[in-house]
């Protein structure tokens, strides 16, 4: 009853606010939200309030019981099935590691939302973090397409770098959520295999050495939003090499998940799945965004998320699940791409999912709303 009230009020309020928010460009709205989140991060009271909302909105998943033992996926037990995907809580860009570390030393919130967002939505994958800081792409890098509930971006892996991110999270270790993931990626433009491996190993080591042991690490092999890395690392050989490097660095301390692009051929998904299974990866996230021409300049590509990604993400998940079944692999497939409501979530047939665009189109409690819709129509369908 209280859950219904909170979720309905949240949607009504967000629907009223959305026209105002959407009057701003996607980039401006994002920047303002990040400023608000930094304020909320710094307030114990605000975070306690957000945690209360979480407990009501996500009931009964948030109170594991003998009947609900959690969602088991990729070597992790989750309190509910939907995780906020990488890209939202990823931090500011910096031009150098020294600058990023100096900001941490000054006590700045270099990863806005690190505390407030998990308090409100529960499961979050932080990052992507590259080994060194990145400023990302200049100019307009984010667009909305409300008619299809899509977002397009070419943020270009803007982030504070693994060392500063680890140092920042280590300072706030006491307030980190119980369950969270960290997404890491090779720096765009790096193509020397030895350097790629070193970057991945060092990024993982920096977090672990500073006592930041996430519930899972995700190795992002799929970054279409930078000029210099259109293909990413999605050949079987490259995936095998990077997964093996990450797994050996993790040394069994935490599971590894891998994130792939949409739009690959069935054979390529099968090969990447094989490489993942044989190196010890425990879950595949399918998918990242789909590279398409941007509205401002059709010669420049940006990654599409949301409604316009949904069909490709479904195909990718189906392809991976088919290969998994055929080979009897024991790896999980986590759906990501256009999960917007109970039906789109159910259609993937996956145990767990990740979402980003739903947050923009349905508000902060999108995951709770979608999980509730899913339960409601599952009940109707089985009657
Ligand atoms: C603005 C923006 C930034 C993103 N940044 C990252 C990132 O840094 N790393 C990553 O793995 N995925 C990133 N993503 C992709 C999302 O994690 C997710 O895979 C994608 O948005 C598809 O989910 P959706 O259709 O629910 O939005 C980003 C997406 C958006 C919209």
pTM (predicted TM-score):
0.95
Cβ neighbours around 77 below 10 Å, total: 12
Which pLDDT does position 1 carry in this prediction? 80
Q: What's the pLDDT tens digit per position in 41-65?
A: 999 999 999 999 999 999 765 444 5
Which pLDDT does position 234 carry in this prediction? 81
Q: Is residue 168 over pLDDT 80? A: yes
339 CA closest ligand 1 atom index: 26
87 CA closest ligand 1 atom index: 5
Q: Is residue 291 over pLDDT 80? A: yes
Burial classification of residue 268, based on how many CB atoms lie within 10 Å of its CB (0-12 exposed, 13-18 middle, 19 or more buried):
middle
> Mean pLDDT throughout 330-338?
97
Report the distance separating Cα 60 and Cα 58, nearest Å. Answer: 6
Average pLDDT, the chain: 92
Q: 2-381, what's its fold?
A: TIM Barrel (3.20.20)
Q: What's the pLDDT tens digit per position in 15-36?
A: 999 999 999 999 999 999 999 9
Cβ neighbours around 63 below 10 Å, total: 10
Q: Is residue 71 over pLDDT 50? A: yes
pLDDT band of 235, cuts 50, 70, 90: confident
Residue nearest to atom 11 of ligand 1 (CA): 86
Nearest to 186 by CA among 203, 169, 165, 208: 203
Which pLDDT does position 381 carry in this prediction? 58
Q: Is residue 131 over pLDDT 60? A: yes
For residue 263, is it left (φ>0), alpha (ψ between -120 and 50) or beta?
left
Q: Is residue 304 over pLDDT 80? A: yes
Report the residue among 27, 81, 83, 85 best suited for mutation to probe ligand 1: largest number of ligand atoms under 8 A from its CB: 85
> Mean pLDDT throughout 323-350?
96
Q: Is residue 231 over pLDDT 90? A: no
Give the C-alpha distances (Å, rounded to integers) separating 175 from 47, 102, 172, 296. Answer: 10, 21, 6, 41
Phi first, then psi, for residue 245 (nearest 5°) are: -65, -45
Q: Is residue 248 over pLDDT 90? A: yes
Region of poorest pLDDT, from 308-322, 326-340, 368-382 = 368-382
Which pLDDT does position 376 carry in this prediction? 82
Q: Is 90 in the pocket of ligand 1 (CB under 6 A)?
A: yes
Q: Where are the domains of the chain?
A: 2-381
Q: Is 336 in the pocket of ligand 1 (CB under 6 A)?
A: yes
> Mean pLDDT throughout 91-112?
98
Q: Is residue 179 over pLDDT 80? A: yes
Q: Tokens for 31?
A: 């920047």
Give the C-alpha distances (Å, rounded to integers) separating 242 from 6, 223, 271, 276, 316. Answer: 44, 15, 14, 10, 21
Q: Is residue 297 over pLDDT 70? A: yes
Q: Is 282 in the pocket of ligand 1 (CB under 6 A)?
A: no
> Mean pLDDT throughout 244-255?
97
Residue nearest to atom 2 of ligand 1 (CA): 87
Q: Is 308 in the pocket of ligand 1 (CB under 6 A)?
A: no
Which pLDDT does position 382 carry in this prediction? 53
pLDDT band of 82, cuts 50, 70, 90: very high
Which pLDDT does position 128 carry in this prediction? 96
Residue nearest to atom 7 of ligand 1 (CA): 87
Which pLDDT does position 62 carry in this prediction? 45
Q: How many angstroms separate the alpha carbon of residue 278 from the centre of ligand 1? A: 27
Report the distance separating Cα 200 and Cα 219, nearest Å. Answer: 8
């Amino acid at each position: 009853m209280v859950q219904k009230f909170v979720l309905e009020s949240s949607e009504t309020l967000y629907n009223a606010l959305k026209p105002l928010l959407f009057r701003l460009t996607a980039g401006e709205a994002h920047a303002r939200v990040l400023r608000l989140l930094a304020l909320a991060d710094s307030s114990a009271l605000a975070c306690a309030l957000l945690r209360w909302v979480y407990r009501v909105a996500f009931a009964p998943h948030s109170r594991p019981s003998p009947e609900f033992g959690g969602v088991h996926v990729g070597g992790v037990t989750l309190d509910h099935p939907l995780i906020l995907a990488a890209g939202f809580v990823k931090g500011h860009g910096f031009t150098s590691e020294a600058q990023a570390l100096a900001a941490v030393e000054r006590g700045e919130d270099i990863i806005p939302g690190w505390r407030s967002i998990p308090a409100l939505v529960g499961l979050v994958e932080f990052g992507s973090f590259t080994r060194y800081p990145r400023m990302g792409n200049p100019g307009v890098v984010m667009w909305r397409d409300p008619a299809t509930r899509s977002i397009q971006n070419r943020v270009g892996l803007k982030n504070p770098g693994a060392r500063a991110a680890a140092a920042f999270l280590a300072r706030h270790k006491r307030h980190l959520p119980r369950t969270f993931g960290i997404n890491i990626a090779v720096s765009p433009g790096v193509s020397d295999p030895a350097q790629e491996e070193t970057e991945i190993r060092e990024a993982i080591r920096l977090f672990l050495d500073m006592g930041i042991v996430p519930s899972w690490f995700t190795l992002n092999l799929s970054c279409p939003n930078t000029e210099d890395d259109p293909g990413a690392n999605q050949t079987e050989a490259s995936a095998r090499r990077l997964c093996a490097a990450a797994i050996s660095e993790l040394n069994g301390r935490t599971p590894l998940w891998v994130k792939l692009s949409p739009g690959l051929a069935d054979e390529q998904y099968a090969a990447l799945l094989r490489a993942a299974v044989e190196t010890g990866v425990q879950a595949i996230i399918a998918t990242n965004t789909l590279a398409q021409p941007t509205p401002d300049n059709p010669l420049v590509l940006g990654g599409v998320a949301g409604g316009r990604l949904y069909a490709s993400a479904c195909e990718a998940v189906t392809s991976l699940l088919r290969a998994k079944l055929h080979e009897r692999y024991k790896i999980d497939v986590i759906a990501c791409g256009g999960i917007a409501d109970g039906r789109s979530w159910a259609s993937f047939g996956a145990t767990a999912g990740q979402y980003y665009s739903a947050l923009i189109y349905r508000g902060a409690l999108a995951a709770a709303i979608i999980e509730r819709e899913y339960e409601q129509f599952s009940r109707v369908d089985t009657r």
